């Protein structure tokens, strides 16, 4: 196998959310009848149930009508839009952003992550990655030939108000030459939020050991139960090399426009733009206009959306409580629940495929988020509430057929 | 300098089209007064002068209204859209495409190029690249740590009806272990078209020496003077590993939607999708809908557009004829002219900056397309005709001030 064959054999997408139709047919241990019900795809949010920010389409159309000026922007995004967004994000994160030099608009936060990793990970560089964390993080580190150093997040039994990241292990990793630490906050897939102390410690350790930081704050606008949320970049002690990633694709349901931003150290943004120039030039010009609606939603829109999602979360958690052996730490931010199941007689990978076949319900395999999560699956509960509850009931009914 | 610093120092964007505002201020040898006139940016086409395909916005809006199904597609693009596009492209290129396995929709043709290069170039692989050719080709090969093997295209004195690629040099390169040959047809920046014999020879040499091929046919719908155009993939003898790239961003003026496609060998498309999954997930979902207008333009639209561009080309060429020492091979396909100037007393890089300052006219430095093009600049003449002619006149007037 040559180097590329090997690289791409590791870079699987068959179990990635939304790719299930591409899976090769395999023999499954099917037990019992199918349970009919409305199809629910928990691999991502449902923008029909939670519609895009009102006015987004109108702003897109205005952008289209603006013509050449909006179609061809600088690679880092249109200057006027960077200025609007930088101001909003400075206020949101509590730390200033220079619109000229410290922010880039990207085709989705996935691309922001890709560019940031490309800017910071060289061959053989040690990259610290949390387990569990967003499944693409490990794939990105591998793609850029980094060496992954896993950091455990003991989220289940964490002290109250903390995410449970193992800070001793993190410092040890930093001491041993880690160059970059990448993590999401709120965490994907568990929805836990890092405490103020955890964030401050990560920032000061990174400064002390000269480690670069990438923090993915994609879900930081959807915080439940009025919890405090701490932005890494607003800390007193921060490293020189740091970038924050955010976008309007989740709570705002604007995923269909593919928009993200990264903001932080000038030299990282410069590299990201150089890379963007050969990756895809820019975020779709007309789509960039939609960022004008961001942090500018109609009065009460975000609060109502958060309330709706908190309610769906609570209903699903109440349902899980009735089934012995299942559990999930209540989501603190974002739309994910990382559900632990009792021991099953089939692998989690097969179980997910069986559930899809028998209940028309798609969930994401736990092992995508770390090799040890062999009894777990992730759901994005940004769905129609009744359909979601019914789908989880069907899933749990089928689960009983495989309980060890 | 560490490996990343070195990599990014080579990956410049300051002289790239559309990035001129980011250039650091430098001392220029300014001679004479500024020549006022309408600003013309020849670094890309003007979608205000040549508007997007009629109906594109309506189809986008329909896509938006379709909701979740259009917002979240498979990474390789929505199945229904792949089917429509595969059928059109099969007919256009004269060779069948399997919509399920042999085509991927990407955020722009730039991303198609990036993904194809990422799928095919490993560390130390020899990559043959034409000089002159699209400036990003070399940058992509370098980014993926390939070794560039330049192939000369003697386009100025080429035999009638040929592009002038040095096929002896190409075979020698293939013999010496080149793994991949990447080229654009029509060529960017010269606008020349490869002859049937040139294309057939490239294909059979690639088959003989087991070389992969990437052909960028971005401008293949805009052919002038009813010339014959030969699609590489329709040749009798072709290599097993081959991909063609095309998109609606040029002649169709749909660049603001960022859409491209790549089609060819299943294993390349599979790798491209795996890479797309971590690069940007997918082309913006709502934008993908716009591909329904592609190869489905209103009766006469494409013919009229080609005629308009041929007329602009002819007017610019007539103007160049009046200025001794300037020349350009007439464009055969696409909207580019690669203009050669007489010897100047300043570098081409400085000249381009001086012209921008004195005449409000942006052109692209010849050395972006190959190091030897030190007296050349490229223009995209998809502009308002009168404005374009006036801008070229101003540029040539300023040029006289620097003639050696």
- Judge if A99 and A220 occupy the same domain: yes
| The pair of three-digit structure tokens given for residue B53, joined into one six-digit string | 């395909």
CA–CA min distance A153, chain B (Å): 23
- Judge if A102 and A12 occupy the same domain: no
**What is the distance between the alpha carbons of residues B289 and B53, in angstroms, rounded to a whole number?**
13
CB A224 within 8 A of CB A313: yes
pLDDT for the residue numbered A7: 85
Q: Predicted ipTM?
A: 0.96
- Judge if B203 and B74 occupy the same domain: yes
- Can you give the CATH number for the domain in which A116 is found? 3.40.640.10
Domain end: B293, B309, B328, which one?
B293
Return residues 88-117 of B near A (CB < 8 Å): 106-108, 110-111, 113-114
A52 Cα distance to chain centroid? 18
- Can you give the CATH number for the domain in which A313 is found? 3.90.1150.10
- What are the residue ranges in chain A where pLDDT is below 70? 1, 13-25
A17, A278, A282, A289: best to mutate for the B interface, most B CBs within 10 A: A278
B72 and A107 in contact by Cβ < 8 A? Answer: no
CB B319 within 8 A of CB B392: yes
pLDDT for the residue numbered B11: 82
B47 and A71 in contact by Cβ < 8 A? Answer: yes
CA–CA min distance A321, chain B (Å): 30
CB A69 within 8 A of CB A296: no
B42, B69, B125, B278: best to mutate for the A interface, most A CBs within 10 A: B278
Partner residue facing B114 (CB), from A51, A113, A278: A278
Say which residues have a Cβ less than 8 Å from residue B2's Cβ, sequence separation at least 6: A122
- Judge if A304 and A284 occupy the same domain: no
- Judge if B267 and B138 occupy the same domain: yes
| The pair of three-digit structure tokens given for residue A206, joined into one six-digit string | 């990174």
B133–A contact, CB cutoff 8 A: no
A258 and B70 in contact by Cβ < 8 A? Answer: no
Residue keyed to tokens 């998809």: B382
Domain end: A258, A293, A328, which one?
A293
Residue keyed to tokens 């900056």: B353
B209 Cα distance to chain centroid? 26
Residue keyed to tokens 């557009």: B305
Exposure b/e, B163-191, CB count within 10 A at least 16 = b = bbbbeeebbebbeeebbbbbbbbbbbbbb
pLDDT tens across A35-81, in order? 999 999 999 999 999 999 999 999 999 999 999 999 999 999 999 99
- Judge if A309 and A287 occupy the same domain: no
* SS3 letters across chain A: CCHHHHHHHHCCCCCCCCCHHHCCCCCCCCCCCCCCCCCEECCCCCCCCCCCCCCHHHHHHHHHHHCHHHHCCCCCCCHHHHHHHHHHHHHHHCCCCCCCCCEEEECCHHHHHHHHHHHHCCCCCEEEEEECCCHHHHHHHHHCCCEEEEEEECCCCCCCCCCCECHHHHHHHHHCCCCEEEEECCCCCCCCCCCHHHHHHHHHHHHHHCCEEEEECCCCCCECCCCCCCCHHHCCCCCCCEEEEECCCCCCCCHHHCCEEEEECHHHHHHHHHHHHHHCCCCCHHHHHHHHHCCCCCCCHHHHHHHHHHHHHHHHHHHHHCCCCCECCCCCECCEEEEECCCECCCHHHHHHHHHHHHCEECEEHHHHCCCCCCEEEEECCCCHHHHHHHHHHHHHHHHCCEC
- Judge if B258 and B346 occupy the same domain: no
A62–B contact, CB cutoff 8 A: no
- Judge if A110 and A205 occupy the same domain: yes
Say which residues have a Cβ less than 8 Å from residue A80's Cβ, sequence separation at least 6: none
pTM of the model: 0.96
Return residues 1-60 of A near B (CB < 8 Å): 2-4, 7-8, 11-13, 16, 18-19, 21-22, 41, 44, 46-48, 51-52, 57, 60
* Mean model confidence pLDDT for chain A: 96
B195–A contact, CB cutoff 8 A: no
CA–CA min distance A367, chain B (Å): 17
Domain end: A293, A316, A338, which one?
A293
State how beta strands A376-380 and A364-365 pair.
Answer: antiparallel
Candidates B187, B177, B201, B197; CA nearest to B154 is B187
- Judge if B32 and B166 occupy the same domain: no
- Judge if B251 and B355 occupy the same domain: no
- Judge if A263 and A347 occupy the same domain: no
Structural domain count of chain A: 2
**What is the distance between the alpha carbons of residues A380 and A42, in angstroms, rounded to a whole number?**
5
C-alpha distance across the termini of chain A, in Å: 39
State how beta strands A336-340 and A376-380 pair.
Answer: antiparallel
B11 Cα distance to chain centroid? 18
Mean pLDDT per 10-residue interval, chain B, length 404 residues: 83 70 76 97 96 97 96 96 98 98 98 98 97 96 96 96 98 98 98 98 98 98 97 96 97 97 97 96 98 97 98 98 97 98 96 96 96 97 98 98 97
Q: DSSP for B160-195, please give it.
A: TTS--B-HHHHHHHHHTT--EEEEESS-TTT-----
B71 CB neighbours in chain A (<8 A) are 47, 255-256
B41 CB neighbours in chain A (<8 A) are 72
- Judge if B268 and B169 occupy the same domain: yes
Range of the domain at A177: 56-293
CB A76 within 8 A of CB A279: no
pLDDT for the residue numbered A336: 98
CB B48 within 8 A of CB B253: no
């Amino acid at each position: 196998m040559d180097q590329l064959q090997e690289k791409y054999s590791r870079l699987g997408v068959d179990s990635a959310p939304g790719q299930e139709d591409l899976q090769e047919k395999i023999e499954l241990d099917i037990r019992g009848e199918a349970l009919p019900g409305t199809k629910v795809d928990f691999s991502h949010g449902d923008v029909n149930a939670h519609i895009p920010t009102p006015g987004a389409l109108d702003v897109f159309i205005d952008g289209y009508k603006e013509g050449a000026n909006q179609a061809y922007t600088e690679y880092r995004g249109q200057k006027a839009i960077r200025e609007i967004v930088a101001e909003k994000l400075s206020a949101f994160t509590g730390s200033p952003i220079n619109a000229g030099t410290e922010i880039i608009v990207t085709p989705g936060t996935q691309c922001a992550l890709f560019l940031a990793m490309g800017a910071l990970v060289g061959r053989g560089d040690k990259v610290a990655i949390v387990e569990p964390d967003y499944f693409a993080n490990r794939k990105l580190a591998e793609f850029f030939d980094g060496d992954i150093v896993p950091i455990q997040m003991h989220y289940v039994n964490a002290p109250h108000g903390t995410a449970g990241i193992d800070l001793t292990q993190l410092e040890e990793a930093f001491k041993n030459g880690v160059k970059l630490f990448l993590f999401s906050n709120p965490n994907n897939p568990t929805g836990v939020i890092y405490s103020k102390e955890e964030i401050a410690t990560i920032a000061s350790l990174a400064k002390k050991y000269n480690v670069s930081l990438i923090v993915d704050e994609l879900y930081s606008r959807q915080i439940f139960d009025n919890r405090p949320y701490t932005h890494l970049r607003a800390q007193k002690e921060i490293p020189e090399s740091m970038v924050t990633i955010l976008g309007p694709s989740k709570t705002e349901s604007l995923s269909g426009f593919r928009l993200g931003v990264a903001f932080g150290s000038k030299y990282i943004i410069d590299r990201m733009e150089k890379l963007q120039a050969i990756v895809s030039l820019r975020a779709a010009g007309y789509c960039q206009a939609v960022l004008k609606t961001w942090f500018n939603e109609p009065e009460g829109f975000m609060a109502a959306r958060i309330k709706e999602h908190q309610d769906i979360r609570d209903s699903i958690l109440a349902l899980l409580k009735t089934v012995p052996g299942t559990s999930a730490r209540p989501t603190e931010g974002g739309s994910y629940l990382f559900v632990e199941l009792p021991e099953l007689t089939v692998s989690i990978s097969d179980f997910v495929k069986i559930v899809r076949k028998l209940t028309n319900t798609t969930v994401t395999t736990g092992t995508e988020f770390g090799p040890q999560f062999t009894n777990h699956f992730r759901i994005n509960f940004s769905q129609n509430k009744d359909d979601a509850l019914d789908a989880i009931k069907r899933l749990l009914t089928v689960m009983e057929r495989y309980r060890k």
